[in-house]
Amino acid sequence: MRATERAGRRHGTRGAVAAVLVAAVGLLCVVLLLPLTASTTDSAREITLVIRNMAFYLEGGTEPNPTIRVRAGEEVRFTVLNRDPGFAHNFVVDAWDLETPFIETEASTTVVVRAPARPGRGEYVCTPHGKMMRGVIEVVGGD
Amino acid sequence: MIQPRNRGIAQSRPWSRRAWLRVAGLGSLTGGVAAAQGAVGGQVAPALATMPDHRGSAMGPVGRVSTDSFDPTRFLRAWNFSDLPSDERARVYRETPRADGTMLREYELFAVDRDIEIAPGVFFQAWTYNGQVPGPTIRATAGDHLRINFTNQGSHPHTLHFHGWHEPAMDGSLPAHQVLPGESFLYEFDADPFGVHLYHCHANPLKRHVHKGLYGAFIIDPPATSARPPADELVMVLNAFDTNFDAENEVYAANTVASFYVQEPIRVQVGQLVRMYVVNLTEFDLINSMHLHGMFFDVFRTGTSMTASESTDTIMLCQGERAILETTFRYPGDFMFHAHQSEFAELGWMGLFRAEAPSAG
């Protein structure tokens, strides 16, 4: 915003038009990104993943790197908790264009995304430990 | 006598071992006080005027290291992942009896970068096998066949280089043997000869890959027909850490954690044979040693003979050298063991055995 204001002062009317345009584009971006970042309605599906011993687990689960199933088009809130001392991990689903920042030990990150509209199978991984921390994420038909 | 010279080093190099030791709180409290006082002025003050109160002397660091991800007590008596719950163990280790009575042993080993705690509050950015330093102890019987699937999940090329008989392709040492990050390699060889050996990364620069933590003990037992007598068996890997990349070690230990066995003495039984598999993997310092108080032990160098070569209370080990030590505690109580390089001992390579009399029942 600061750059826009400066441009406005320097170029008068043309600058003001540009500022409005930039602001409009910015607003559009915010609206588009809202479902990805902002807190959403309570209807979002909650999936909590706990990382320990270089594997993902569903909260309370015992199966390493389990298959995660979601419904097509549903809103999903992933919380990823790192309980792996000495490691930084992340959670990446290429097919969904989803990538969390690195999560330090005993920290967690939450990301809200909308599942793809069409059923299919993708993979989730931790980037630096992708040979061991890798599982299937499955999108099934909505009902 | 050596005090004035050390003081000079401490002044010109702010992160010398001595300065580091003061900050980390290792060593005795009085030692720290003496060093701090010594650093003021160029002359040694008259002893009577500055005599410190020696009653505050303590041994080892202040505070405790978390044992959540690595427990040196558990490491002592764990091999082939015997310390893991059975389902977790099954994912990294399988043994299959073969027709000739020997065993096929299959392992999943991986290299991975991990921050490990080597002294209370002191973290080291280690390169590890399976997330731990030392790596998991591999143990087989002479004649067994080993198959080790190695995956590199680290940030640098790594290898597994086992000591013992094997074909050159299984040596994990030449540039062509490097396993790049994200890649895997299957090492395969027979367990030969029996003894206490080691494995380590052999990627270049070798000393960095070793000192970062890529090493472990490799024990080959004699064939069952000539097995060693039953004993309380302990694995001790002598190691050290260069925390500031000056090619000198600041923290020394048996099994990674400085002075851990001072705080948690190794429990043994009076009258029971104790067998120690001692492997020296200290980098930068040419030799290391182990001295046990109040008794003598039998030495089986490299463990390749069933006959002890000497009886002593101090053994010297070069880098990569190892030995089996056997003794039987005669008296109950605490017995120190440590490097007889006093500097190593005070920087963490110090521990206690706690011998307990057999219960009267």
Decide if A131 and B184 are in contact by the 8 Å CB cutoff: yes
Do residues A51 and A70 share a domain?
Answer: yes
The answer to whether residues A79 and A14 belong to one domain is no
Closest residue of chain B to A54, computed from CA coordinates: B131
Q: Cβ distance B294 to B354 under 8 Å?
A: no
Q: Does one domain contain both A55 and A5?
A: no
The number of distinct structural domains making up chain A is 2
Task: Please count the other Cβ atoms lying within 10 Å of the Cβ belonging to residue A8.
Answer: 18
Distance from CA of A61 to the nearest CA of B (A): 14
Residues A91, A57 share a domain: yes
Same domain, A87 and A131: yes
Residue B312 has which token pair? 């002593």
B31 three-state secondary structure: helix
Task: Give yes or no: residues A83 and A19 share one domain.
Answer: no
* pLDDT lower than 50: segments of chain B: 1-12, 27-42
Whether B72-226 shares its CATH topology with B233-356 is answered: yes
Task: Check residue B60 and give its pLDDT.
Answer: 82
DSSP letters, B339-356, are: -SSHHHHHTT-EEEEEEE
User: Which residue of B66, B91, B153 is in closest CB contact with A129?
Assistant: B153
Put simply, whether B110 touches A (Cβ < 8 Å) is yes
Give B87's contacts in chain A (Cβ within 8 Å).
62
Backbone torsion region of residue B323, taken as left when φ is above 0, otherwise alpha when ψ lies between -120 and 50, otherwise beta: beta
Looking at domain B72-226, its CATH architecture is Sandwich (2.60)
ipTM over 0.90? The verdict is no
The pLDDT of residue B58 is 75
- The pLDDT tens digits of the residues spanning B318-358 come to 999 999 999 999 999 999 999 999 999 999 999 999 999 98
Per-residue pLDDT tens digits for A77-129: 999 999 999 999 999 999 999 999 999 999 999 999 999 999 999 999 999 99
B115 — contact with chain A (CB < 8 Å)?
Answer: yes
Residues A17 and A81 in one domain: no
| Residue of A53, A87, A131 lying closest to B182 (CB–CB) | A131
* Count of alpha carbons within 13 angstroms of residue B135, beta-carbon side: 32
Nearest to B256, CA basis, from B83, B140, B129: B129
Nearest CA in chain A to B68: A85
Residue type, B229: P
Residues of chain B contacting A131 with CB distance shorter than 8 Å: 110, 151, 153, 182, 184
Q: Residue B205: is the preceding peptide bond cis (ω within 30°)?
A: yes
Residue ranges of domains in chain B? 3-56, 72-226, 233-356
Report the distance separating Cα B109 and Cα B130, nearest Å.
Answer: 6
Do A66 and A92 lie in one domain? The reply is yes
Residue of B84, B108, B115, B124 to mutate when probing chain A, most A C-beta within 10 A: B115
pLDDT (0 to 100) of residue B5: 39
Q: Which residue has the higher pLDDT, B243 or A35?
A: B243
Cα-trace Rg, chain A: 20
Q: Mind telling me how many Å the CA of A121 is from chain B's nearest CA?
A: 23
A132 CB neighbours in chain B (<8 A) are 110, 151, 153
Taking the Cβ of residue B116 and every Cβ of chain A, the question of whether any pair is shorter than 8 Å is answered with yes
* Same domain assignment for residues A80 and A15: no
What residues does B114 pair with on adjacent strands? B126
Strand-pair partners of A108: A81
Residue of B114, B151, B184 lying closest to A87 (CB–CB): B114
The pLDDT of residue A142 is 63
The beta-carbon neighbor of A132 closest among B88, B117, B153 is B153
Contact call for A86 and B155, based on CB within 8 A: no
- CATH number of residue A96's parent domain: 2.60.40.420
- Domain over B233-356 is classified CATH 3.40.50.1980: no
Beta-carbon separation of B112 and A85 below 8 A = no
Is the CB of B155 less than 8 angstroms away from the CB of A128?
A: yes
Query: Are residues A71 and A134 located together in one domain of the fold?
Result: yes
B280 Cβ neighbours under 8 A, 6+ residues apart: B238, B287, B288, B317, B318, B319, B320, B321, B322
Give the burial string for B288-326 (b: 16+ CB within 10 Å, else e).
bbbbbeebebbbbbbbeeeeeeeeeeebbbebebbbbbb
Statement to judge: residues A96 and A116 lie in one domain: yes
Chain B residues with CB under 8 Å of A86 CB are: 69, 114-117, 123, 131
Q: What is the pLDDT of residue B49?
A: 60
Give the structural domain span for A96: 45-140
Region of B81 (left: φ > 0; alpha: ψ -120 to 50; beta: rest) is: left
pLDDT for position B51: 72
| pLDDT of amino acid B142 | 98
My answer on whether A129 and A88 are in the same domain is yes
Inter-chain residue contact A86 with B151, CB threshold 8 Å:
no
Measured between CB atoms, which of A86, A129, A132 is closest to B69?
A: A86
Q: Do A54 and B69 touch (CB under 8 A)?
A: no
Check whether the bond before A35 is cis (ω within 30° of 0).
Answer: no
The residue-averaged pLDDT of A62-73 equals 96
Partner-chain contact B110 A86, CB within 8 Å: no
